[in-house]
Amino acid sequence: MVKARVTETVGALGDYLKEQRTQSRLSLRQLAEQAGVSNPYLSQIERGLRRPSAEVLQQIAKALRISAEQLYIRAGILSPDDGVGGSVELAVLGDTGLTERQKQSLLDVYSSFLALNEADRTSAETPVVSDEPADNDATTALS
């Protein structure tokens, strides 16, 4: 199920990139050259066969003159609810002192913390139902 969602996200990203490229009147080869990636790699991204790193997305966005954050959202790296500017994800992705692997690891840890906190919050909101009968006698409570 998760793999299907990733494949769907990557496919939608590829379609979006191809649409942006054609609107910019760039050939696949021209965009690949401007973004600093190989022609076959860019083709695979557009066809939804490869999931590009945040760095590659940033290079493509720069070549297309579009928002890198939009590409991050479309690629599933950022959540649209995070908001643009000031988010942890954008800070990590923009840090030039980290490798792509380190960036992805940090984003994975951050996402897992958010999911854990959400699960804790959800379970705290769910009322606990006890199998024990309620003792409504006030005198029993005082003794």
pLDDT value at position 128? 58
Three-state secondary structure readout of the chain = CHHHHHHHHHHHHHHHHHHHHHHCCCCHHHHHHHHCCCHHHHHHHHCCCCCCCHHHHHHHHHHHCCCHHHHHHHCCCCCHHHCCCCCHHHHHHHCCCCCHHHHHHHHHHHHHHHHHHHHHHHHHHCCCCCCCCCCCCHHHHHC
State the average pLDDT over residues 121-143.
61
The pLDDT tens digits for 44-103 are: 999 999 989 888 999 999 999 988 888 888 888 777 665 544 478 778 877 778 887 888
pLDDT at 113 over 60: yes
pLDDT value at position 85? 46
Q: Torsion over CA of 11, 47, 44 and 4, rounded to 10 degrees? A: 30
pLDDT at 143 over 60: no
State the average pLDDT over residues 94-117.
82
pLDDT value at position 17? 93
Tokens 């959400």 belong to 118
The pLDDT tens digits for 1-49 are: 444 444 566 778 899 999 999 999 999 999 999 999 999 999 999 999 9
Assessment of whether the complete model's pTM goes beyond 0.75: no
